[in-house]
Structure 1
Amino acid sequence: MTEIHTPRLLLRPWQEDDLMPLAEIHADPGAMRWVEDGSVRDLEQTAADLERWEEDWDEEGFGLFAVELLGSGELIGCVGLSVPADLPQLLPTVQISWRLGRQFWGQGYASEAAQACLEYALQDRGLDRVIAVAQPGDTASLNIMDKLGMSHEQDTVHPAHGHAVQVHAIDLTEFQV
């Protein structure tokens, strides 16, 4: 699996000692507010997420990276690519997403990680197009999508959770490093 370095971050494969810090993020209602139905996850669910993300790397050749602060080695969250199987109306496509611990918000880490991951998707993986999905009230994620150069493409309803989502997209011809 690939590692990506940015000025402040390392996007890397998952390690065994990532489970507890990720579980802390997943247990925070604020950090999980805009993820799927907004439910927190326990340790067992977080372990299942990690297992699924590693399987994505094996099956798809891409997936979610662990995001680590370069200075401290601290896990601050995840960023990566996935096939949004829970949104069949958008298939076939690849989605970029991110999730950071609340103490790391507002410092540009999510934008920095997402920019590096988007560059990886469009330049290294050879994808022609990437989407991102957010609920209308998730202004932080919508701002990141704007910083990435993504354009609003459509509004839809999440079939499993019943809430509105906005789909933003960027293709290779629009991407700027």
Structure 2
Amino acid sequence: MDAFTVPVASPALNIETPRLILRQWKDNDFAPFAAMNADPQVMEFFPSVLTREKSDEMATRCRDLIAERGWGIWAVELRETGEFIGFVGLHTPGYDLPFTPCVEIGWRLRADSWGQGYCSEAARAALDAGFTQLGLSEIVAFTALPNLRSQAVMKKMGMVSNPHENFSHPAVEKGSWLEEHCLYRLKRA
């Protein structure tokens, strides 16, 4: 894939794993998403929790991007119950970062779903879709340096970091303990 070309999937990708479904957002995802984004534990490594309005704006952007290009930050539900537990997906960052343009993988799950392997399971499926169905040659991930849980998932996916690529995130206040971010990369095998 040309680094400046955003791929389009038609029809839109829905991804299933043994325990999860990564899918387009539904209206009834917005309330549990807002509750998750208001949880200080979930939002520990972000500048702040999100208001309901900001959370709804984010979910709407995620839904609109999937509708536009067929892939993105998918809502994640448990196959067994249909319960919304968060998001995992692929995104083109909207900030001018030292390594853009690129496609990143990101995730955010409810705290009560942590430690059960859901994030890794969904992330593997999203990476596979990015490489096999979208033809991406590389996918990146980044997080604040103190976020060791997300870095553990990145490493589990086979992603590799280089400390020389650490950067100050432009959306984080200068001097904040969250300002410095690390970058992980994974190339298509």
Would the TM-score normalized by the shorter structure come out above 0.5? yes
Specify which structure has the bigger relative contact order, considering alpha-carbon pairs within 8 angstroms and separated by 6 or more residues.
Answer: 2
| Structure 2 CA distance for aligned equivalents of residues 28 and 4 of structure 1 | 27
2:111 to 99, 102, 127: 102
* Map 1:84-123 → 2, pairs under 5 A: 84-123=93-132
1:139 to 148, 157, 160: 148
2:89 to 52, 56, 80: 80
Aligned positions, number:
171
Structure 1 residue runs without a partner (length 5+): none
> Who is 2:22 aligned against?
11
| Structure 2 CA distance for aligned equivalents of residues 87 and 139 of structure 1 | 24
TM-score norm. by structure 1 comes to 0.92
Asked if the contact 1:93/1:130 (under 8 Å) is kept, the reply is: yes
1:100-129 per-residue CA deviation (whole Å, 9 max, x = no partner) reads 000001111111111100101111111110
TM-score norm. by structure 2 comes to 0.86
1:111-165 per-residue CA deviation (whole Å, 9 max, x = no partner) reads 1111100101111111110000011111111010011100003211112213000
RMSD: 1.3
Percent of paired sites with the same residue = 36
| Structure 2 CA distance for aligned equivalents of residues 15 and 98 of structure 1 | 18
Letter in 2 for 1:164: E
2:181 to 140, 148, 165: 165
| Structure 1 CA distance for aligned equivalents of residues 114 and 33 of structure 2 | 15
Structure 2 residue runs without a partner (length 5+): 1-11
| Structure 1 CA distance for aligned equivalents of residues 160 and 111 of structure 2 | 26
| Residue 52 (structure 1) shift | 1.1
